[in-house]
Amino acid sequence: MAVDIIALRNKFETPHYLLTTSDNQILFLRIWKPQGEALKDSAILLLHGITAYSGPYGMIAEPLAEKGFTVYGLDLRGHGLSDGNRGDSPGMERFIADLCETLDFVKQRHTKVVIMGHSLGVLSSLIALNNCLENIDGAVLLSAARKSRPHAYPKMSAGQKLKILLSSIIRPSKPVIDYYREGMVGLDDPLFNFNYTFRFMKIVNLVDFKFPEIENLPVFVGIGDNDELFAVEDCQKLFDEIPTEDKMFHVIKDGTHAVFPPDCWGPLTGWLDEHFD
């Protein structure tokens, strides 16, 4: 059954912004606001993983808000409470524009902005670094590498691949790829999405993207020691590529790809405090 995104968005009562893009679509920005006197002038923009949306990232946004950071969580187009065909993007140009317009919106309200990407959000962060660096003052990259573990995803047969290709040519906006792996979260959440268009999946290939020259931009890279998708050593290789002297690599004890111990964020919040107090 299709979810009525507009109806759900209209009922949403906790803090958020509705950002109108240059092509007249609505992007949903969830907000976690600091309380009391801890308010900092730096903000964090959370970029979610594939299948997900901003809501479940309260697990990290709340500890950051307690430290005084205003945290924004973007629902990508076609995800969560944002407009757009579910599991789809019209193309790379629009994907870039959505990220850059969102960063511009946040930067107008804060002196410094840190992008924080998880999984697919690491690719979104890399795309943003290459296209809207002027509005980025730091980056946090969690749970990603250029290659996944062997057998992390079920393999498709030649017949399945041909069917997907033909369907995507006839109707490129139709989700034709079922995204599934063992241990996935969000199966009981109607705002998670597990079906994608071929053109969206072509965009989200981390292998082809490089880091820009970011000089001394502060970058924090983290991964759970039990991440079922990416090996720690492959995440380390991605970290080694980053062309900045100001970077930190951290392995999260007892963390998986998308589930982390509630008390694990001390090294990250300490790093953020040091760089963006």
pLDDT in tens, 107-163: 999 999 999 999 999 999 999 999 999 999 999 999 999 998 888 777 877 777 777
The verdict on residue 209 lying in a domain is yes
Cα–Cα dist 35/188, whole Å: 31
The verdict on residue 241 lying in a domain is yes
The verdict on residue 42 lying in a domain is yes
For the whole prediction, is pTM greater than 0.85?
yes
Cα–Cα dist 63/68, whole Å: 9
Q: Are 70 and 43 in contact (CB under 8 A)?
A: yes
Q: Return all residues near 141 (Cβ < 8 A) that are at least 6 apart.
A: 117, 122, 125, 219, 220, 221, 222, 238
The verdict on residue 277 lying in a domain is no
The verdict on residue 97 lying in a domain is yes
Burial of 54 (0-12, 13-18, 19+ CB in 10 A): buried
Q: What does pLDDT average to over the chain?
A: 92
Domain that residue 114 falls in: 5-272
The verdict on residue 88 lying in a domain is yes
Q: Residue 116: give its domain's CATH number.
A: 3.40.50.1820
As given in the structure block, the two tokens for residue 19 are 């950002």
How many domains, the chain? 1
The verdict on residue 47 lying in a domain is yes
The verdict on residue 131 lying in a domain is yes
**Mean pLDDT, rounded, for 22-42:** 89
**Mean pLDDT, rounded, for 263-275:** 95
Return the pLDDT at 215: 85
